[in-house]
Structure formats: C-alpha cells, structure tokens
C-alpha cells in the first residue's frame, strides 16, 4: 500500500446554483443550491483522497469550518495506521473529549466527519487500486466488522451477530458480483418531479424517462394538496397502473396532518411516503406507518438520520405490520458503492430494493455514474467516485469562483 503519510487536508466550499432552475426543490427546501464541503487529503507519497458531504447552499461554510477543526486528528497518520484499526480511527474523529460536545455524531460535526471519512475511504481504495465497493467485497467478514463502531448498538446487533450475517453473505458472492457487472443495480428517478417544476416540464421529463426505460418515479409533495393531487394524477396517468410511484414530503407535516394528507393521495397508490414529518421523530414515523399500512403505503426515512443509534431505533421501533423503507441518503456517485456491496455481501437480495437516482451535476465528477436501462452499472475506477473535476471546483468555489461572481451580479 504505497500511500505515505497524510501531510495535508484541504477543504473547499463548492456550490452549484441549482435553485435558478428549481432543481432539487421540495416542500421544505424551496431554493436549494446543491453544494458540498469537499475534502482533499494529501499524502507525502503523492496519493490523494477525495471526499464530500452534501449540503444545499447556505451554511456550507460552517461544515467547512468543522472539517478544519477535525484536521489535526488526521494529519501525520499513515493509511496503514488508520486501516490497521479503523474502528479506533472512527472513534478518534467522533469521540474527541472536547469536540464531541458539539455533536455527538449529529448535525454539522457529523456532516464534517462524513466528508473526512469519505476521503479516507477514497484514499484507501485508490491505494488498493479498486473501487470502494470492490474493496469492501474483497474484505473478510472479520476485516469488515473491525471497521465498525458497535458502541450504542450492541443491544440490537453485536459484532458476533454482524460476523454471522457477513459470513452468510460470502456464499455465492462471486455469482452476485458477476450479475451486477452485467445487469447493474435497479434505480428509481427523482428528477422528473421537483416541486418547483411546472406541469409541462414534469410531463416532458416523465415521457423522456419512460422512453429511457425508467419504471419507478418519485414526486415531491406537501406544499399544496390540490397541486399534489393534480401532479400525482398526471404522473400516474403517464406511467400507468403497473409502474411504481413514490411521494416525498421532506419533513413538511405534523403526524396527524401526514396521515390525513397521504390518505387523500392514496388513490394514486404510492409505494411509500418519504419523510412525512420531522426526521428525528421515530415514534411519529411509527405512528404514521401504522395508520397508512391498511392503505398499502409504506413510510421511508433516513435521509437526515444522523447516525446508527437512530437507525437502531427506527428498526427496533417498527411494528410488525408496518412497511418501512429505509433510505440512506447520499450523492449518487458514492451511494452506488454501498448498494453494490449490500447486494453482493449483505442482503443478497434485490427484492423490494432500489436506489435513488438524481440526474443533475454528474458532469462535474471525474468518474460520473453510469446508468443503463434504469440500473446503476458498477464503477470500475479506483476510489469512491468522489473526485470532482478540478475546473468545476474552481469555478463553483463560493463565493469567489467565476460562477458565483456572475450569479451575484444577476
């Protein structure tokens, strides 16, 4: 592993003015500028690691500041130091005796930690000459478990139980890997029906998506019931009764309101309602799930789930009758590695599983996602697919980049 010692950690505030065209708009985030705190780790051997955490504009400078606070914990380490005991490295970042007070493991510090850890995984995979998904697939169950911090979750999952799951996942993994190389992993699209898109745009994008082979579509809802009914009807008519429709309220409602509103939309047979209420309200989600179960509508959450402790409660708290979709949010480029690993080595199943795809800004990545017939094709370049094109980073750096100097003059 010729990776050298970490001698630099730079972080940039990179923002794309997506709000100008309403890309990404939903009931709560009406004018998002898709952004990132972008981390570049330098080693004295010349190998670099790139990582990012997703934000939607204002406040990215706070995440950048938090990354800078983590920098001293990373500088001077070799990749060998880190990978020999990844669990301790994770703890070092998340359990600093003073810094953990501004978390722990949630909010800005959690986003900053994610950007740094993603950059370290990128560095690790590059040193091994593999994409991250393949690095994970080739690890032994013991190595994988040694990377995970089981603190606070051992009442739900012990390291021994995780080992058992992963050992079982080793069976026929070669076959599943070959299958993924040919078929790819099933995806759904969110890009047709952002809340701020007019009906004409929605119709046009939806018919294009149908022509491209998409079979599952997500619609943003929650601001105005009449609009939601009209937009869901439009999409359902276009895609027909067999294809999948999902709706996403991005945390807009109180619990009772969520049940009433989604009941009104049940005629369009959504597979799930995503983030109906506060992302922190585990009991509220369970209540909504129970109420909507007779209608055959599931509840999805996880997009702003801070950490494993919350996931534990979501999983343990669900009633048996409840349909609960869990959703691990992230930028498509990164998430594709995790779903491939999950299928090949953990779940071994594609039943009721698909991964979100958002068709914006891929051109700014060095190794953008490849979608064939609505499936993610496994990325083959070494790393986490997280490196951005240098000129894009330069132009979109906030506020001094060329793009922002222009936007701010508008």
Q: Which of 248, 333, 342, 387 binds Mg ion (CB under 5 A)?
A: 248
Number of residues engaging Mg ion in binding (CB under 5 A): 3
Which residues, in sequence order, are bridge partners of residue 39?
A: 11, 51
Looking at beta carbons only, is 174 or 329 nearer to Mg ion? 329
Looking at beta carbons only, is 257 or 303 nearer to Mg ion? 303
Distance of alpha carbon 86 from the chain centroid: 22
The span from the CA of 372 to the CA of 269, in Å, is 27
User: Of 36-44, 123-131, 203-211, 248-256, which part binds Mg ion (CB under 5 A)?
Assistant: 248-256
Shortest gap between Cβ of 6 and Mg ion (angstroms)? 34
Whether residue 61 contacts residue 399, with contact meaning beta carbons closer than 8 Å, is answered with: no
First to last CA, the chain: 49
Determine if 279 is a binding residue for Mg ion (CB under 5 A): no
Determine if 328 is a binding residue for Mg ion (CB under 5 A): no
Looking at beta carbons only, is 149 or 359 nearer to Mg ion? 359
243 CB-near residues (< 8 Å, 6+ apart): 215, 216, 217
378 CB-near residues (< 8 Å, 6+ apart): 131, 133, 134, 180, 181, 184, 185, 336, 340
Shortest gap between Cβ of 275 and Mg ion (angstroms)? 6
Determine if 177 is a binding residue for Mg ion (CB under 5 A): no
Determine if 303 is a binding residue for Mg ion (CB under 5 A): yes
At 359 the three-state DSSP class reads: coil
Residues in 255-274 that interact with Mg ion by CB under 5 A: 274
Looking at beta carbons only, is 13 or 248 nearer to Mg ion? 248
300 CB-near residues (< 8 Å, 6+ apart): 246, 248, 272, 273, 274, 275, 324, 325, 326, 327
Residues in 3-42 that interact with Mg ion by CB under 5 A: none
Shortest gap between Cβ of 218 and Mg ion (angstroms)? 8
Shortest gap between Cβ of 356 and Mg ion (angstroms)? 8
Determine if 183 is a binding residue for Mg ion (CB under 5 A): no
Shortest gap between Cβ of 273 and Mg ion (angstroms)? 11
Can you give the binding site for Mg ion, defined by CB under 5 A?
248, 274, 303
């Amino acid at each position: 592993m010729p990776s050298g010692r970490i001698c630099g950690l730079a972080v940039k505030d990179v923002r794309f003015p997506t709000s100008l065209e309403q890309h990404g708009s939903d009931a709560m985030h009406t004018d998002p500028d898709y952004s990132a705190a972008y981390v570049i780790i330098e080693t004295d051997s010349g190998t670099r690691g790139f990582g990012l955490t997703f934000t939607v504009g204002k406040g990215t400078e706070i995440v950048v500041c938090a990354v800078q606070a983590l920098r001293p914990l990373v500088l001077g380490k070799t990749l060998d130091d880190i990978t020999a005991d990844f669990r301790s490295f994770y703890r070092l970042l998340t359990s600093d005796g003073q810094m953990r007070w501004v978390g722990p493991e949630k909010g800005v510090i959690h986003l900053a930690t994610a950007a740094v850890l993603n950059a370290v995984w990128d560095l690790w995979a590059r040193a091994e000459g593999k994409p991250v998904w393949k690095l994970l697939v080739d690890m032994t169950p013991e190595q994988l478990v040694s990377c995970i911090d089981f603190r606070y979750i051992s009442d739900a999952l012990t390291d021994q139980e995780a080992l058992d799951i992963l050992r079982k996942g080793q069976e026929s993994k070669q076959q599943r890997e070959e299958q993924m190389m040919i078929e790819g992993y099933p995806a759904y699209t969110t890009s047709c029906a952002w809340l701020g898109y007019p009906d004409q745009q929605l119709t046009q994008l939806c018919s294009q998506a149908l022509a491209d082979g998409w079979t599952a579509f997500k619609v943003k809802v929650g601001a105005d019931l009449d609009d939601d009914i009209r937009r869901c009807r439009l999409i359902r008519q276009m895609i027909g009764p067999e294809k999948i429709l999902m709706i996403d309220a991005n945390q807009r409602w109180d619990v009772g309101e969520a049940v009433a509103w989604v009941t009104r939309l049940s005629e369009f047979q959504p597979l799930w309602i995503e983030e109906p209420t506060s992302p922190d309200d585990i009991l509220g989600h369970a209540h909504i799930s129970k109420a909507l179960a007779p209608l055959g509508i599931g509840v999805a959450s996880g997009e702003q789930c801070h950490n494993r402790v919350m996931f534990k409660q979501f999983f343990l708290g669900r009633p048996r009758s409840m349909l609960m979709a869990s959703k691990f949010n992230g930028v498509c480029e990164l998430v594709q590695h995790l779903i491939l690993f999950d299928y090949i080595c953990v779940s071994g199943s594609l039943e009721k599983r698909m991964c979100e795809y958002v068709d914006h800004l891929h051109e700014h990545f060095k190794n953008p996602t490849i979608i064939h017939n609505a499936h993610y094709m496994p990325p083959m370049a070494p790393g986490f697919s997280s490196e951005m094109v240098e000129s894009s980073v330069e132009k979109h750096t906030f506020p001094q980049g060329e793009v922002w100097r222009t936007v701010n003059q508008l």
